[in-house]
């Protein structure tokens, strides 16, 4: 077992997840980079290891009970406690079909990854988080998960109408609050962040922010001290409306 502070980031082989992993490693943590595809994961891990970062690969599919359970059991043999969990993995299955025509299978796939995935991973890793005594859990949300913003004509988010993606992120807000309430007595802070409009594969690289810029808020929330908030929704400028 190692005494160094440990972090795990899901969907860490590219985009915002890769940038978060790099930022946490730069902060002095050992970062377990979770990836569904081991080949892509190994390539991402090597890219950061080559820069001198303490990162390791853990194969994990957030949409699979078996994968999450197996990864948790394996990780529990490697570390005594988990200090940071970033639930970053997400999908946007269909960005063009209007709500009335969206296929139920695509809605289910979106919720399986974007909502049930963070629940599944957080539940499974809660024992390791509790062992840390002061752990931090960060959910990667979206401005599209804010009912206030998607109904505000002055907000850019109101111009987008993605039933499956938006609904999954709205629900993730509620999940964040629920975990925050349960885990606060154990010194664990749970927050959700909106990374902003980041250039990633999720949006065909049409965003305006770099992954490093999008990762900044998540990294900050992952490194909160004991006076920091829990159960909140944050963006680069501060609190977001629910």
Please, are residues 136 and 84 in contact by the beta-carbon 8 Å criterion? yes
3-class state of residue 159 by DSSP: helix
| Helix (H) and strand (E) counts in the chain | 8, 8
> What's the pLDDT score for residue 199?
55
Query: Does residue 1 fall inside a structural domain?
Result: no
Give the model's confidence band at 197: pLDDT under 50 very low, under 70 low, under 90 confident, else very high.
Answer: confident
Query: Does residue 111 fall inside a structural domain?
Result: yes
Q: Which domain holds residue 137?
A: 6-239
Q: Which residue has the tokens 């209007």?
A: 98
Residue 203 has pLDDT above 60, yes or no: no
Both tokens of 5, joined, read 């502070």
Query: Does residue 107 fall inside a structural domain?
Result: yes
> How many structural domains is the chain composed of?
1
> What's the pLDDT score for residue 13?
95
Please, what is the average pLDDT of the chain?
94
> What's the pLDDT score for residue 120?
98
> What's the pLDDT score for residue 66?
98
Give the model's confidence band at 5: pLDDT under 50 very low, under 70 low, under 90 confident, else very high.
Answer: very high
Residue of 242, 197, 213 lying closest to 92 (CA atoms):
197
| CATH code for the domain in which residue 227 is found | 3.40.50.720
Query: Does residue 103 fall inside a structural domain?
Result: yes
Residue of 139, 173, 146, 174 lying closest to 160 (CA atoms):
146
């Amino acid at each position: 077992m190692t005494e160094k502070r440990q972090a795990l980031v899901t969907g860490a082989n590219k985009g915002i997840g890769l940038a978060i992993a790099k930022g946490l490693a730069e902060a002095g943590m050992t970062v377990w980079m979770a990836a569904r595809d081991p080949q892509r994961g190994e390539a991402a891990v090597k890219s950061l290891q080559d820069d001198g970062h303490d990162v390791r690969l853990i194969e994990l599919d957030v949409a699979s009970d078996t994968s999450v359970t197996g990864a948790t059991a394996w990780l529990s043999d490697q570390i005594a406690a988990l200090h940071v969990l970033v639930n970053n993995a997400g999908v946007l299955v269909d960005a063009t079909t209007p709500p009335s025509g969206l296929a139920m299978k695509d809605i289910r796939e979106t919720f399986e990854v974007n909502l049930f995935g963070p629940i599944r991973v957080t539940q499974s890793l809660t024992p390791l988080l509790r062992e840390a005594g002061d752990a931090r859990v960060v959910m990667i949300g979206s401005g599209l998960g804010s009912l206030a913003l998607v109904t505000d004509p002055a907000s850019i988010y109101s111009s987008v109408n993605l039933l499956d993606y938006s609904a999954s992120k709205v629900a993730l807000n509620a999940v964040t609050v629920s975990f925050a309430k349960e885990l606060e007595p154990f010194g664990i802070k749970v927050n959700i962040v909106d990374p902003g409009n980041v250039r990633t594969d999720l949006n065909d690289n049409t965003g305006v922010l770099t992954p490093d810029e999008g990762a900044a808020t998540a990294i900050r929330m992952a490194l909160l001290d004991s006076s920091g908030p829990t159960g909140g929704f944050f963006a680069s400028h501060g609190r977001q409306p629910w």
